[in-house]
């Protein structure tokens, strides 16, 4: 059973609280973070850099690169339309070894922690079974989750021009563009973009921007070409760095100037081990989120655990795979926790 309440803010961001009461909800364990490549010590970290695009450029791109109307005036799927049956068949053909890897962070239960986004209460009884009550605020920087298209707006509009005030209500959640639309959509080719490996580093330093030339350089290094319907997963090495140096609250991610790449290649999904955005674009909070969700209609995957995937991909020198993920099918949710799986 799900109980959903939406929180609307002036910035146009909507969140939900989910209360889950299933006895058999799985908590997936994670593979340990991969070490730096053999024979290579930690390299000097690159200096954090600034955004190459500003709010005025974002405003232009929101109009000139928009997918609004591309699949009809009533469309609620956005870039997920690019994941066709043919695309899924091609992605399935990438499976050769049958090795599967979870990309979800393990949910950590911290009893009594007031700032913990996840709590669980387990009960048992004489009948010999156990049950849970789980409460989580998954929009944030810890829990692996999928963002719905009603999660953000720009100038009062959501994807495809729907009015944010009409789409999201406090008690009703999302009447359009909800996460329920993605319940069986995300089966496609995933491509890992390992920027630390590209730069010869175990991880990126907090605040590092990833530019379009980095994405194109990785394509050449990995021997892949990003194309329509793909899901691209950006590894910054966040979790490996946290394990070694302690938790950082300063994200690395896509520079705003890189977002035309998503449109040019018709990317369907973007994901990262952070939350995509890096730095602050003056006058445009969460600029990458806003462009991707509102202009392109792209579903985002935040807080992925890409360490095990990166280690396995490097061992096999294979950077493309079948990617599958399904959200809890809340018909009016702004997103949902997920446990994505990559299959080689």
CA distances from 88 to 69, 75, 262, 326 (A): 24, 21, 19, 15
Distance CA 33, CA 49 (A): 26
DSSP letters, 242-296, are: HHHH-------EE-GGGHHHHHHTT--EEEESS-SB-S-BTTBTTHHHHIIIIIS
Buried b or exposed e, range 81-92, using 16+ CB within 10 angstroms: bbbeeebbeebe
Higher pLDDT, 50 or 285: 285
Per-residue pLDDT tens for 149-172? 999 999 999 999 999 999 999 889
- Given a cut of 70, is residue 310 above it in pLDDT? yes
State residue 132's pLDDT score: 72
pTM, two decimal places: 0.85
> In the structure, what pLDDT confidence band is assigned to residue 216 with cuts at 50, 70 and 90?
very high
- Given a cut of 60, is residue 215 above it in pLDDT? yes
Per-residue pLDDT tens for 243-256? 999 999 999 999 99
pLDDT mean over 210-235: 98
> In the structure, what pLDDT confidence band is assigned to residue 288 with cuts at 50, 70 and 90?
very high
- Given a cut of 90, is residue 82 above it in pLDDT? yes
pLDDT mean over 13-17: 60
The percentage of residues in the chain with a pLDDT greater than 90, rounded to a whole number, is 71
CB 160 within 8 A of CB 304: no
User: For 23-27, 227-231, 285-289, which range has the lowest pLDDT when averaged over its residues?
Assistant: 23-27
> In the structure, what pLDDT confidence band is assigned to residue 12 with cuts at 50, 70 and 90?
low
Distance CA 166, CA 235 (A): 36
E runs forming strands in the chain: 6-8, 14-16, 18-20, 100-102, 118-124, 130-136, 145-147, 168-169, 173-174, 186-194, 209-210, 231-235, 253-254, 269-272, 299-302, 320-325, 335-337, 341-343
Higher pLDDT, 7 or 27: 7
Residue 64 CB partners (closer than 8 Å, separation 6+): none
What are the phi and psi torsion angles at 342 (to 5°)? Answer: -105, 135
């Amino acid at each position: 059973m799900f109980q959903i309440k939406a929180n609307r803010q002036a910035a146009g961001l909507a969140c939900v609280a989910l209360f889950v009461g299933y006895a058999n909800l799985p908590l997936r364990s994670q593979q340990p973070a991969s070490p730096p490549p053999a024979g290579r010590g930690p390299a000097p970290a690159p200096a954090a850099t600034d955004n190459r695009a500003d709010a005025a450029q974002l405003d232009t791109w929101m109009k000139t690169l928009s997918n609004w109307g591309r699949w009809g005036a009533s469309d609620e799927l956005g870039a997920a339309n690019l994941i066709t049956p043919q695309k899924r068949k091609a992605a399935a053909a990438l499976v050769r070894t049958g090795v599967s890897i979870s990309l979800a962070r393990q949910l950590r239960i911290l009893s009594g922690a007031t700032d913990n986004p996840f709590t669980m209460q387990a009960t048992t009884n004489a009948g010999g079974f156990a049950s849970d009550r789980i409460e989580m605020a998954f929009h944030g920087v810890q829990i692996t989750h999928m963002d719905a298209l009603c999660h953000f707006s720009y100038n009062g509009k959501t994807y495809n021009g729907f009015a944010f005030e009409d789409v999201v209500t406090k008690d009703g959640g999302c009447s359009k563009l909800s996460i329920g639309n993605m319940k069986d959509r995300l089966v496609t080719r995933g491509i890992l973009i390992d920027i630390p490996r590209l730069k010869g580093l175990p991880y990126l330093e907090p605040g590092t921007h990833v530019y379009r030339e980095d994405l194109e350089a990785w394509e050449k290094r990995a021997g892949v070409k990003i194309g329509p319907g793909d899901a691209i997963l950006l590894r910054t090495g966040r979790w490996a760095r946290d394990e070694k140096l302690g938790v950082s609250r300063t994200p690395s991610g896509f520079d705003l100037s890189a977002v035309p790449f998503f449109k040019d290649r018709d990317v369907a999904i973007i994901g990262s081990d952070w939350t995509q955005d890096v730095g602050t674009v003056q006058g445009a909070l969460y600029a990458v989120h806003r462009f991707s969700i509102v202009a392109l209609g792209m579903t985002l995957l935040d807080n992925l655990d890409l360490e095990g995937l990166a280690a396995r991909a490097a061992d096999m020198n294979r950077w493309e795979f079948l990617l599958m993920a399904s959200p809890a099918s809340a018909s009016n949710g702004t997103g949902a926790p997920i446990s994505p799986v990559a299959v080689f």
